[in-house]
C-alpha cells in the first residue's frame, strides 16, 4: 500500500509516484491512496485517464479530495480519513507493506504498524520540519514543531526502512538520531526523472538562451541571486537571453527581479505543461537554480529540475549547501557553483559557465551523470530491493541498491 497526500494528477504525482509504481507493480500488487486537488478532482476526463493508466498497470487507485482548509484542522481530518482507508487496505486488502511518502502519511503508517504489525517505509522526501521553519511557516521550539519532531523520531525508530533523497540529509540524520538509526536501514534514493523523455537535443539551439525551470517565488528560491545572475550574464554576453519557465505570476516575478527595462526585455516568463518541458530545455544552453542553501532544510533537497536538465545534456549553475548538488557538479564536472550574489561573484560564475559551455564533451558528461544518479530505472530498482528485503528478510538490499550500501554500513 502506497500512501501519499500528493495527487496523482499533479505533475509531481505523475513523475514521482506513478512513474515509480508502474515499474514496481510488475512484481507487486499496489494499493495507491492519494489526495487530489479540487481542480483535478473536478476534471472528470483527467481522472478517467488516470484510472485507466492505473488499471492497465494493476494499480488499485483509491483517491479522495485534498483538504487544504482549515490549515491545522485539515491535515488532522485527512489523517483520520487516510488512516481508515489504510486500515481497510491492511485488514481486507491484505497489504503486507506500507510505503508512506512524507511525514503525514508516515504518521498514519506508524499508527497502523502499532495496531497491526504491518511494516512500513518512511520515505521522507525532504526534511519537512526544517523546510517549514525556513519558509517561516513554523517556529523552532513551538508546540507544533516539537510534535512534528516527535513524529519524525518515532517514524525513524519504528520504520522497516527510511529513505532520504540525499547523502547530505542522511549524514544529518545519523548525527541527529544515532540511537534510532543504529542497525536500521537508511537508504538514499535521489529524485529521479524519466530519462527516456529528457534526452539531449538532436539539433543545437538557434539562440543563446539561459533557462530557469520551476517556481522562483517560493520561500526556498533565491530570486535575488537570479536577478544578480541575469545582470552579470547580460553584461558578459550581450547575445544572451533568459527564459523562465514557471507557473508563478509573470508580473509578480518581474516585480521581484526588479530589472531595468532594457534588461527585462531580454527575459521571457511563461508557464508550460510537463509534456512541453523537454522541448523547452532543448532551446537552452544551460539552466540556473538557486535555493536557500546553507539552511538545514536544504540538506534534504534533491531538485527534480536538475535531473531533467542534466538528462537533456545541459549544465547547471547553482549554489552550494543544497543537498548533493555541489557534490554532483564537482564530481561529474556538469556545472558551476556560484560563491555568492555580489556583482563580482556572479561575474566570476558567468565566466566559468561560459568557459564550460565551450567544452565539447559537456553534453555527454551531463547525460552520463543523469543516467548514473537520476534514472527512473535505478530508482525503481532501489525501491524494489527495499521491498524485497522487508518482505523476504533473507534478501540482501545491498546487492541491488547502489546508494544504500555506504549509508547502511555507517
**Cell matching residue 410:** 555507517
CB 313 within 8 A of CB 366: yes
Longest Cα separation, the chain: 65
Compute the mean pLDDT over every residue in the chain, rounded to the nearest whole number: 91
Residues 6+ apart with CB under 8 A from 358: none
Q: How far from 33 is each of 9, 64, 69, 137, 155, CA to CA, in Å? A: 13, 8, 20, 27, 19
- pLDDT confidence band for 136 (50 / 70 / 90): confident
Cα–Cα dist 153/173, whole Å:
10
Is 394 a residue whose pLDDT tops 90? no
**What backbone torsions phi and psi does residue 188 show, to the nearest 5 degrees?**
-100, 120
Average pLDDT value for residue range 134-149: 90
CB atoms inside a 10 Å sphere around CB 241: 19
Q: Give residue-wise pLDDT tens across range 62-114.
A: 999 998 777 778 878 888 999 999 999 999 999 999 999 999 999 999 999 99
CA 333 to chain CA centroid, Å, is 22
Q: State residue 399's pLDDT score.
A: 35
Q: How far apart are CA 171 and CA 174, in angstroms?
A: 5
Q: What residues pair up with 161 in beta bridges, in sequence order? A: 121
Inform me whether the pLDDT recorded for 359 exceeds 80.
yes
The b/e string for 274-296 (b: 16+ C-beta within 10 A; e otherwise) is: eeebbebbbebbbbbbbbbbebb
97 near 118, Cβ under 8 Å? yes
Nearest CA to 155 out of 102, 94, 86, 88 is that of: 102
Residue 352 belongs to a domain: yes
Per the CB < 8 A criterion, the answer to whether 328 and 334 are in contact is: yes
Alpha carbon distances (Å) from 210 to 217, 234, 273, 350: 19, 10, 19, 11
DSSP 17: I
Whether 200 is covered by a domain: the verdict is: no
* Residue 334 falls inside a structural domain: yes
Q: Are residues 303 and 322 in the same domain?
A: yes
Q: With 90 as the cut, is the pLDDT of residue 406 above it?
A: no
Calculate mean pLDDT across residues 54-68. 93
Same domain, 382 and 332: no
Going by C-alpha positions, the residue among 84, 87, 37, 91 that lies closest to residue 65 is 37
Q: Is residue 204 part of a domain?
A: no
Q: What are the tens digits of pLDDT across the range 263-302?
A: 999 999 999 988 899 999 999 999 999 988 678 888 999 9
Indicate the number of domains in the chain.
2
Peptide bond into 70 cis (omega under 30): yes
Per-residue model confidence (pLDDT) at position 410: 35
Is residue 228 in a domain?
yes
Same domain, 405 and 324: no
Quick one: pLDDT at residue 161? 97
Whether residue 197 lies inside any domain: the answer is no
* Rounded-to-integer distance, Cα 310 and Cα 364, Å: 10
Task: Tell me the per-residue pLDDT of 193-252, one tens digit each, with 9 for 90 and over.
Answer: 889 999 999 999 989 999 999 999 977 789 999 999 999 999 999 999 999 999 899 999
Percent pLDDT > 90 in the chain is 80
**152 and 221 in a common domain:** no
The residues facing 99 across adjacent strands are 2, 121
pLDDT digits (tens, 9 = 90+) for 313-343: 999 999 999 999 999 999 999 999 999 999 9
**pLDDT tens for each residue of 41-52:** 999 999 999 999
Indicate whether 166 and 269 sit together in one domain.
no
> Looking at the structure, do residues 392 and 345 belong to the same domain, yes or no?
no
Q: Same structural domain for residues 119 and 150?
A: yes
Q: How far is Cα 229 from Cα 383, in angstroms, rounded to an integer?
A: 38
CA–CA distance from 40 to each of 20, 32, 37, 47 (Å)?
21, 17, 5, 7
d(CA 71, CA 385): 37
152 & 291 share domain: no
pLDDT, tens digit, 9 for 90 and up, residues 294-310: 788 889 999 989 999 99
Cα separation of 286 and 352, whole Å? 12
In sequence order, what are the residues at sequence separation of 6 or more whose Cβ sits closer than 8 angstroms to the Cβ of residue 194? 15, 19, 376
Q: What is the side-by-side order of every strand in the sheet holding 120-123?
A: 59-65, 30-36, 2-3, 98-101, 120-123, 161-164, 186-188
Residue 170 and residue 87 share a domain: yes
> What residues make up the domain containing 276?
209-372
What CATH number is attached to the domain comprising 73?
Answer: 3.40.50.2000
Quick one: pLDDT band at residue 409, thresholds 50, 70, 90? very low
Note whether 269 and 162 are same-domain residues.
no
Same domain, 230 and 301: yes
With vertex at residue 317, the alpha carbon angle to CA 380 and CA 322, rounded to the nearest 5 degrees, is 60
The upper half-sphere exposure of residue 205, i.e. CA atoms within 13 Å in the direction of its Cβ, equals 21
Would the pLDDT of 396 be above 70? no
Q: Same domain, yes or no, for 365 and 392?
A: no
Assigned domain for 157 exists = yes
Q: Is residue 201 part of a domain?
A: no
What pLDDT, on a 0 to 100 scale, did the predictor assign at position 393? 63
pLDDT greater than 70 at residue 366? yes
pLDDT tier at 348, thresholds 50, 70, 90: very high
Amino acid at each position: 500500500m502506497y500512501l501519499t497526500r500528493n495527487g496523482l494528477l499533479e505533475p509531481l504525482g505523475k513523475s514521482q509516484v506513478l512513474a515509480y509504481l508502474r515499474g514496481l507493480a510488475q512484481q507487486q500488487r499496489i494499493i495507491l491512496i492519494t489526495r487530489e486537488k479540487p481542480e483535478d478532482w473536478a476534471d472528470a476526463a483527467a481522472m478517467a485517464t488516470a484510472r485507466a493508466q492505473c488499471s492497465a498497470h494493476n494499480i488499485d487507485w483509491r483517491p479522495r479530495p485534498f483538504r487544504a482548509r482549515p490549515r491545522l484542522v485539515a491535515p488532522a481530518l485527512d489523517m483520520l480519513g487516510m488512516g481508515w482507508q489504510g486500515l481497510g487496505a491492511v485488514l481486507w486488502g491484505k497489504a503486507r507493506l506500507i510505503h508512506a511518502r512524507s511525514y503525514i502519511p508516515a504518521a498514519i503508517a506508524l499508527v497502523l504498524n502499532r495496531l497491526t504489525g504491518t511494516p512500513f517505509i518512511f520515505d521522507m522526501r525532504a526534511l519537512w520540519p526544517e523546510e517549514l521553519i525556513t519558509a517561516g511557516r513554523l517556529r523552532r521550539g513551538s508546540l507544533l514543531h516539537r510534535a512534528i519532531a516527535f513524529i519524525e523520531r518515532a517514524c525513524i525508530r519504528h520504520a522497516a526502512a527510511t529513505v532520504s533523497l540525499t547523502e547530505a540529509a542522511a549524514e544529518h540524520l545519523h548525527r541527529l538520531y544515532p540511537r534510532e538509526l543504529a542497525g536500521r536501514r537508511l537508504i538514499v534514493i535521489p529524485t529521479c526523472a524519466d530519462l527516456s523523455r529528457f534526452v539531449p537535443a538532436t539539433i543545437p539551439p538557434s539562440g543563446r538562451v539561459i533557462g530557469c525551470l520551476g517556481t522562483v517565488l517560493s520561500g526556498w528560491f533565491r530570486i535575488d541571486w537570479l536577478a544578480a545572475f541575469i545582470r552579470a550574464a547580460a553584461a558578459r554576453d550581450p547575445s544572451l537571453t533568459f527564459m523562465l519557465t514557471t507557473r508563478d505570476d509573470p508580473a509578480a516575478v518581474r516585480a521581484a527581479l526588479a530589472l531595468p527595462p532594457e534588461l527585462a526585455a531580454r527575459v521571457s516568463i511563461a508557464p508550460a505543461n510537463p509534456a512541453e518541458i523537454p522541448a523547452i530545455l532543448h532551446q537552452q544552453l544551460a539552466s540556473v537554480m538557486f535555493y536557500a542553501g546553507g539552511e538545514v532544510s536544504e540538506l534534504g533537497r534533491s531538485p527534480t529540475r536538475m535531473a531533467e536538465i542534466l538528462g537533456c545534456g545541459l549544465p547547471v549553475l547553482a549554489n552550494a549547501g543544497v543537498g548533493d548538488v555541489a557534490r554532483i557538479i564537482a564530481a561529474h564536472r556538469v556545472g558551476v557553483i556560484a560563491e555568492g550574489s555580489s556583482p563580482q561573484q556572479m561575474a566570476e560564475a558567468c565566466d566559468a559557465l561560459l568557459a564550460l559551455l565551450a567544452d565539447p564533451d559537456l553534453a555527454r558528461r551531463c547525460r552520463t551523470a543523469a543516467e548514473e544518479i537520476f534514472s527512473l530505472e535505478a530508482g525503481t530498482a532501489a525501491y524494489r530491493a527495499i521491498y524485497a528485503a522487508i518482505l523476504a528478510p533473507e534478501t540482501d538490499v545491498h546487492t541491488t541498491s547502489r546508494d544504500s550500501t555506504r549509508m547502511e554500513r555507517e
